[in-house]
Amino acid sequence: MSSSSPRPATPRRRLHPAAYLSAAASLLALVAAAFSRALAPRFPSPPDARRCRPDPEGSWSAGVFLGDSPFALKPIEHWGISADAGAAWPVANPAVTCADVAEAGSPSSFVASPFLFLQGDAIYMFFETKNPVTLQGDIAAAVSKDAGATWQQLGVVLDEEWHLSYPYVFSYNSKVYMMPESSKNGDLRLYRALDFPLKWTLEKVLLEKPLVDSVIINFRGSYWLLGSDLSSYGAKQNGELSIWYSSSPLAPWNPHRHNTIGSMDNGSSFRNGGRPFVYDGDLYRIGKQSGGVSGHSIKVFKVEILTANEYKEIEVPFVFDKPRKGRNAWNGARSHHLDVQWLPSSQLWIGVMDGDRVPSNDSVHRLTIGYMFYGVTLLLVLLLGGLIGAIRCTIPLRWCAPHIEKRGDFVHSKQQFFLKYKLSSLFSSLNKLGSLLGGRINYRTWKGRVYVVLVILVLIFLTCLGTHCIYGGNGAEEPYPIKGRYSQFTLLTMTYDARLWNLKMFVEHYSKCASVREIVVIWNKGRPPVLNELKSAVPVRVRVEDKNTLNNRFNIDEKIKTRAVMELDDDIMMPCDDLERGFKVWREHPDRIVGYYPRLAAGTPLEYRNERYARQQGGYNMILTGAAFMDHGLAFERYWSKKAEVGRKMVDSFFNCEDVLLNFLFANASSMSMVEYVKPAWAIDMSKFSGVAISRNTQAHYHVRSKCLAKFSEVYGNLSAKRLFSSRGDDWDV
């Protein structure tokens, strides 16, 4: 019998440290790619959503304001002006954007510096539009025939080979003139309208100076030209005002005795920011002041003395309600131009102001920060490689050996030797540091692996931050226009004292959504909150009810200032972009209920089923009104009609089914489907964390709703036919 010798054990292969480092680098690349893809919009914008092309100078647009005086201007949405053609109830700012100009056939990345010109019942707006192809400013125009509510784009009306902006338009001797900024051409030019407002010709060069933000005014029998020359030695960014005077805009101009008038040393703002105006016999000048990183602000100055030998002005209060929605507001970051004029047809003052939602150089700042995070990540990867022994970097000291070509060049040789000596000392120190750090972490031990994992987690975090800065956009959740018009809606939520913490988060979050005009809190039970407990960017109104009933959700409220309301439970959190998409769909279908939670009532008798079942069946016929848009005049009147009385009693009996009843009332009013679904990017039910949900027992809740369906179908007939998912064509109802 032969004995067999034991087989030698196969040694276990150990991965080289470089393999771990390569795996970590590959992981970071995958994280960056996946995160950048996740930052892309989940839902595509429809063709008419019309976003502007990003521009390093900002995302400027123009808004319309009205007021009893130039010092009491309110945005146009404050006045409740509607425009059926654009489904805007009410019309809201911005009034003109670069997307409007682009749709008219002229590429544009922003619009700024608007000026008004009144001619009969028509209001013309001239403004700078930046061409993203030529990267220079042109002058475009729009016209309004309804007191500034809506604007028709006329396209680019003046285009030169150099940059144009600040299109100051005025009339003289029954002719219309335009004096745009043309400082890039080194002069100040005056154009005359040949075919107003579309065709212009050069009338004359007024001054051989590269003036910016120049205006001409007729005051007390003389014409005055005010502008800033930023090309002069020591000129400040905010400008130094220079003045010329003449007997006519076309006559020679004489310089003011004290040119230049002032500097920024005293803190005043001298650069023009719009057209001067006369109010109660006094002349006021609009100035703009640079705000550094945050942008610009508008100042108003009362001109006390204006003569050929003297000029004096003082700043006067100009109170303007600054938006509190940050980047979600079209002018949330800065404004730098205002033009106001008396509007005889409305007996009001009308003003146009430009605004930007992001600070100056925002895109450059985000790009710089993003690459800084990437740089730190790379350094940490190299450090990790050194610590685990995957990278051994030794700088050869021979690189620092002095090399002397000529014996006679003693001074140069001495300097070279000294520099090489310093470099040699530095490289030697770095080599010692590398030797000390090299292999300090033994990745084969559990403790070393923990260190490696922690470092990799930090690297992933830094990679995500850098990717977000570069690919995450400017962070704004913008509204979606219809036919170039924007609008607003009122947010309604019903709650009680046990859910106050939900309400605080709800108000703070949704008040920053661009199209939210007001938040109305329907308070059903308990001590109502004090308004200063709620942090909000829009007005909040608490409507205290006498009775705790779900019918209160649809109480007729004459104080609501918008046609659209969104009923939203206080425990639902979703992004503002979801609200904006839903609002756009409702504006396209204002006679329907538009919401985010579809349901299907099917079977004989009708049975209440959830969204999963509805998707399995391919359609829905109800929308939960806990997150839905509707016309409050239409919906609330139907709910409180005599016909709905039986249903309201059932709602009180079951303390449930108010949304089911409203769906029946809408379905009963038309043979067509009266519901529209919008898929949210994400939504969180906060009641899961609070324990105060109304319908915690889902099975019992659905059973009660099935009872309601049976009763409502007897009284109001059946629900409308099933509406298919993905049937609207905007890819928002998938």
Q: Which of 116-130, 140-154, 344-358, 372-386 has the lowest mean pLDDT?
A: 372-386
- The CATH 3.90.550.10 domain(s) of the chain lie at 489-724
Catalytic center residues? 659
- The two structure tokens encoding residue 66: 């009205």
Please give the single-letter amino acid code of residue 550: L
β-partners of residue 175 are 172
Average pLDDT, the chain: 86
- The two structure tokens encoding residue 607: 């049975």
The mean per-residue pLDDT over the stretch 6-23 comes to 55
Contact yes or no for 227/212 (Cβ under 8 A): yes
Residue 454 has pLDDT above 90, yes or no: no
- What pLDDT, on a 0 to 100 scale, did the predictor assign at position 455? 85
- What pLDDT, on a 0 to 100 scale, did the predictor assign at position 647? 96
* Residue for token pair 């150089």: 361
State the pTM of this model.
0.86
What does the angle CA 419 – CA 425 – CA 431 come to, to the nearest 5 degrees?
135
Residue 68 has pLDDT above 80, yes or no: yes
At 315-348, the pLDDT tens digits run 999 988 888 999 999 999 989 999 999 999 889 9
CA nearest neighbour of 208 among 183, 227, 232: 183
Please give the single-letter amino acid code of residue 183: S
- What pLDDT, on a 0 to 100 scale, did the predictor assign at position 240? 79
- The CATH 2.115.10.20 domain(s) of the chain lie at 57-360
The CATH architecture to which 489-724 belongs is: Alpha-Beta Complex (3.90)
**527 Cβ contact list (under 8 Å, min separation 6):** 497
Which is higher by pLDDT, 216 or 438?
A: 216
Residue 12 has pLDDT above 60, yes or no: no
CA atoms within 13 A on the CB side of 706: 15
Q: Which percentage of the chain shows pLDDT scores above 90? A: 58
Q: Which CATH superfamily is domain 57-360 in?
A: Glycosyl hydrolase domain; family 43 (2.115.10.20)
- What pLDDT, on a 0 to 100 scale, did the predictor assign at position 23? 64
Residue 177 has pLDDT above 70, yes or no: yes
Task: Please state, as a whole number, how many other Cβ atoms lie within 10 Å of the Cβ of residue 48.
Answer: 15
